[in-house]
Amino acid sequence: MYYSSIQGIPEELQAAVPGILNNGAEILTTGYLYLTELKPLDTIARHLANGVTVSPDVVNTLLNNCSNTTFVTQNKDAIFQVLTSNEACSDAVRQGMQDVMGSASNKILLVGIVSAGICAAIEGYKALKFWELIKDARNLIERSPGQREEISKQLGSIKTILSRLDKAIEDMRRPEIDKDDFECAKLASEHFINEIRIGVEQFLKQIGKYLSRRLGIGYFGFLQYTYCACFS
């Protein structure tokens, strides 16, 4: 379903945020897998760190529920041995599980940011498209002749922000990224998403007042009109 929906997205939007849209399915799928395996991964990591032993049946259930985590499948026998006996856990296995937990948390966080990024990109595109359709209408903003140019300038900046958002999210996906760089890329992504939302909201308020006054439709009617105009 995600793949089909990507094919229906306008070319201008795909060109603005190619990384988000083209890699979205992979990001969301990977994040979902980590989300489903987060609890058993956390249990294994805590047991290894605290030297807890459990029954073989419990360990097998935990390991089977982490079948998509490469480190666990590659070290399955070692983890089983440690969790079912008094054998000390090697530093490599213990640290490996801690690294897995960090990676899982990052992947899940990335899912949330990508989802918000896709929504922001679509809303930004809709605002840009709708403005292109109505900006030359007679008496659009009759009391402020220069406001057309100002709105065009404000919305035009959304294109630049979309490109920066796409780059920031791509940085978050780099396999070799360290903790500090990931945090910087995350904060940048959240900032760009917020900037797009604010820009769209300001545009909707400005044009919503006009449509309410000129066409006699309310704010929610304006939103519906905008969606239909952009994607019909």
Residue 141 backbone dihedrals phi, psi, to 5 degrees: -130, 70
Q: In angstroms, rounded to a whole number, what is the distance separating the alpha carbons of residues 173 and 33?
A: 16
Helices 56-64, 18-50: axis angle to 10 degrees equals 170
Q: Please write the tens of the pLDDT for every residue from 111-126.
A: 888 888 888 888 888 8
Q: Please write the tens of the pLDDT for every residue from 18-38.
A: 777 777 767 777 777 777 788
pLDDT-derived band at 143, boundaries 50, 70, 90:
low
Lowest-confidence segment of 85-99, 131-145, 181-195 by average pLDDT: 131-145
The chain-wide mean pLDDT, for the chain, equals 79
Domain enclosing residue 211, as ranges = 2-231
- Answering whether pTM is above 0.85, one says no
Instruction: Please determine, for residue 69, whether its predicted confidence score (pLDDT) is greater than 90.
Output: no
Instruction: Please determine, for residue 4, whether its predicted confidence score (pLDDT) is greater than 50.
Output: no
Q: In angstroms, rounded to a whole number, what is the distance separating the alpha carbons of residues 106 and 93?
A: 20
Instruction: Please determine, for residue 95, whether its predicted confidence score (pLDDT) is greater than 80.
Output: yes
Overall number of domains in the chain: 1
What tokens does 111 get? 């899912």
Residue 84 CA, distance from chain mean position? 39
